């Protein structure tokens, strides 16, 4: 959630900040994320167990991909919590991409496929999740695509943040 106060003293809110005056509402993201973690926790844990993934990694991807919005749609057409492209959703047998459980299972299945393809290399697996496996195979590394480089960096940062918070709660 973002807000700003205009020159007339009116307060404006949005979840899609098109105006540079918008600033993130302090604490809102943490509250929403905490609620979403609880709401999708069972689906995340089931997917993590089924596809041998760290649930905190799945959470990090969901946070970066959709900020836990199950109805998110990207400019390129990626859908749902884990932002599955239509072809990927079909390949992963996801019939209803805006249904949280199905999206998390399909996205996790695809992530496991990418990690297997790149011998468990998390950074390459994330790059392939974002840019597609062919671009990563062509380079043998994270492709020099700014969006993909930023994506891998953001997911790794979020993954580290979530793991640190999880350890602090124990």
Active site residues: 65
Residues 6+ apart with CB under 8 A from 7: none
Answer yes or no: are the C-beta atoms of 72 and 65 closer than 8 Å. Answer: yes
d(CA 24, CA 2): 4
Residues 6+ apart with CB under 8 A from 41: none
Closest CA to 76 of 24, 151, 13: 151
Alpha helix locations (H) across the chain? 28-50, 55-66, 86-91, 100-117, 122-131, 133-139, 146-169
In angstroms, the Cα distances linking 78 to 10, 23, 35, 73, 103 are 35, 26, 23, 5, 11
């Amino acid at each position: 959630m973002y807000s700003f106060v205009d020159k007339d003293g009116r307060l404006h809110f949005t979840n899609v900040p098109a105006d540079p005056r918008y600033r993130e509402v302090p604490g809102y993201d943490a509250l929403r994320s905490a609620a979403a973690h609880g709401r999708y926790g069972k689906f995340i844990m089931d997917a993590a167990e089924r596809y041998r993934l760290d649930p905190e990694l799945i959470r990090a991807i969901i946070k970066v991909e959709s900020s836990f919005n199950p109805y998110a749609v990207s400019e390129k057409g990626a859908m749902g919590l884990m932002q599955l492209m239509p072809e990927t959703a079909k390949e992963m047998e996801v019939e209803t991409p805006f249904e949280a459980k199905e999206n998390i299972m399909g996205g996790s299945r695809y992530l496991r496929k990418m990690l297997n393809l790149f011998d468990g290399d998390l950074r390459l697996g994330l790059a392939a999740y974002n840019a597609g496996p062919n671009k990563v195979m062509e380079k043998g590394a994270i492709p020099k695509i700014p969006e993909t480089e930023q994506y891998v960096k953001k997911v790794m940062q979020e993954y580290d943040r979530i793991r640190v918070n999880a350890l602090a709660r124990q």
